[in-house]
Chain A
Amino acid sequence: MECTLPMNQMGAPPLPPLMASNSAVPDGRMPPALSAAAPSRPRFWIRTGYVVVVLILCLPLLCVIGIAGCFRLSSATQALRNSVIESVPGQWNKRVAVHVPGPALGLVRFGSRFFNLPPEPKAALAALHGAEVGVYNLKDAPSALDYSAMFTAADKCMRRRGWKRIVGVAQGRQFVAVYMPRNLRTAKRMACCVAVLNERDLVVASARANLEPLLELATQRLREEHDLSCQNLKPKSWR
């Protein structure tokens, strides 16, 4: 006995009742709801693809910007350098300017975990969160330096940036200014900016650090020395 499916006018088997009742086209074509859903998946992947391509194209540019940033001082250090240079007339030549940013030090810190470092360098790496130094040379030695004007100019530009001078020393041909942030509250976020002028050489440097690891190490060392000195003071029979 031959069993055949009933066919509609197009020669296709009829749709199940649910699909048939939902379809706007009774002749068996795909309903519009399903047809609308199908192209959205490819659109999402196209957009993601564009983003990935743009990122890949921008990566060399980001690398160039990052590397260029390693030879550029931060704004506060630049301001301190400029205030000193402008106060001392003459032709200044840049010898070196290096900036090691936080992420780079973070990578070094991460890499150092795979090595068995002594506690002091380990604490120093853990503490340092960014450092930079610039060295400049004056072509001809100036005849006389107005240190008051130099301090005033440096204080003014650093105060605008939220820094306060904690040490200022000037004698002969030597000038030292040390600045720290005004809102210094905790050892976890220490920062320091220094300018040293000696004859014709100017060094500006700054660093950001979390001093907690260094404090712990220093406290431990002091305790060990204290215990050792107490032990040395005891008579031999007591040891």
Chain B
Amino acid sequence: MKHMKHWMIGTVTLCAAATLALGADETLPGQVDFGTFSAPKGDGEFVEVNVPTGLITLAARLVEKEQPEVAKLLSSIKLVRVNVIGMDAENRDVLQKRAQKVREDLAGKGWERIVTAQEKDQDVSVYLKMTDKVAVQGLAAVVIEGKEHAMFANVVGDIKPEQLAMLGDKLHIDPLKQIGNTAQKPENKAKDKAEE
């Protein structure tokens, strides 16, 4: 009976550990799977950045004293992923089709398209995934810059739109401010104005 108990405890512990290990790679809400990108064979550039929570938390600690609002925003971010791929004759079609597929997938999964810009050779789309409590779970951007570059970016977290707008205002990043303002609900904007 004693041996049975030890075996049961050991089995349960192993199962729990396996579950935790599997759960570690689960997709977060707000996370977009762009797929894997291959580096272009010629001289085209390839940049892939995957910043995990630990590093973001470090950055938040660094600016906590001087800019607490920025630190608060950084603390609410869980993952940042950016891919920049140089386009050449071999991969241009593939990348354009991939961008189109990502846009369709995001629209189909309930992501809100808040920025669409097509000027000259640039094609920019920005999507937001919101929770019921009006927090931004994810931000995804797909940019095709002429025939030179394709950019895919995804920010995952629990971000309040007013934090985005504030950050855009402080850092003088108008597109970010615009995203934050667009994402805020009208009643919340009115509430903020009344408080001011």
Q: How far is A186 from B48 in the complex, measured between Cα atoms in Å?
A: 24
Q: How far is A200 from B72 in the complex, measured between Cα atoms in Å?
A: 44
B164 to chain A, nearest CB (A): 23
What string of 1s and 0s marks CB contacts (under 8 Å) between B62-73 and chain A?
111110000000
Interface of B, secondary structure class, is: mixed
**Neighbouring A residues of B54 by C-beta, 8 Å:** 180, 184-186
Q: Report whether A148 and B55 are in contact in the complex, using a CB–CB cutoff of 8 Å.
A: no
Q: Does B38 contact A (CB under 8 A)?
A: yes
Q: Which of A110-118, A127-135, A161-169 contacts B (4 or more CB under 8 A)?
A: A161-169
Q: Does A171 contact B (CB under 8 A)?
A: yes
Q: How far is A167 from B84 in the complex, measured between Cα atoms in Å?
A: 12
Interface residue from B41, B43, B45, B62 paired with A219 (Cβ < 8 Å): B62
- Given A180-B55, A219-B61, 6 extra CB contacts under 8 A: A148-B39, A165-B48, A170-B39, A170-B46, A171-B44, A215-B58
B169 to chain A, nearest CB (A): 19
**Neighbouring A residues of B58 by C-beta, 8 Å:** 187, 211, 215
- In the assembled complex, 8 residue pairs joining A and B whose CB atoms fall closer than 8 Å, in A order, are A151-B39, A164-B50, A167-B49, A167-B50, A184-B54, A215-B61, A219-B65, A222-B62
Q: Report whether B62 and A171 are in contact in the complex, using a CB–CB cutoff of 8 Å.
A: no
Q: Report whether A169 and B51 are in contact in the complex, using a CB–CB cutoff of 8 Å.
A: no
Q: Report whether B62 and A166 are in contact in the complex, using a CB–CB cutoff of 8 Å.
A: no
Within 8 A of A (CB), among B42-97: 43-52, 54-55, 58, 61-66, 86
A5 to chain B, nearest CB (A): 67
Q: How far is A167 from B51 in the complex, measured between Cα atoms in Å?
A: 8
* Chain B residue with Cβ nearest A167: B49
What string of 1s and 0s marks CB contacts (under 8 Å) between A190-212 and chain B?
00000000000000000000010
Within 8 A of B (CB), among A126-172: 144, 146-148, 151, 164-172
Instruction: List residues of A whose CB falls within 8 A of some B CB.
Output: 144, 146-148, 151, 164-172, 180, 182, 184-187, 211, 215, 218-219, 222-223, 226
Interface residue from A147, A168, A172, A187 paired with B61 (Cβ < 8 Å): A187
**Neighbouring A residues of B64 by C-beta, 8 Å:** 219
Q: Known interface pairs A170-B39, A171-B43. Does A222 touch B50 (Cβ–Cβ under 8 Å)? A: no
Q: Report whether B62 and A215 are in contact in the complex, using a CB–CB cutoff of 8 Å.
A: yes
* Chain B residue with Cβ nearest A181: B54
B171 to chain A, nearest CB (A): 16
Q: Report whether A166 and B49 are in contact in the complex, using a CB–CB cutoff of 8 Å.
A: yes
Interface residue from B41, B48, B65 paired with A223 (Cβ < 8 Å): B65
What string of 1s and 0s marks CB contacts (under 8 Å) between B92-126 and chain A?
00000000000000000000000000000000000
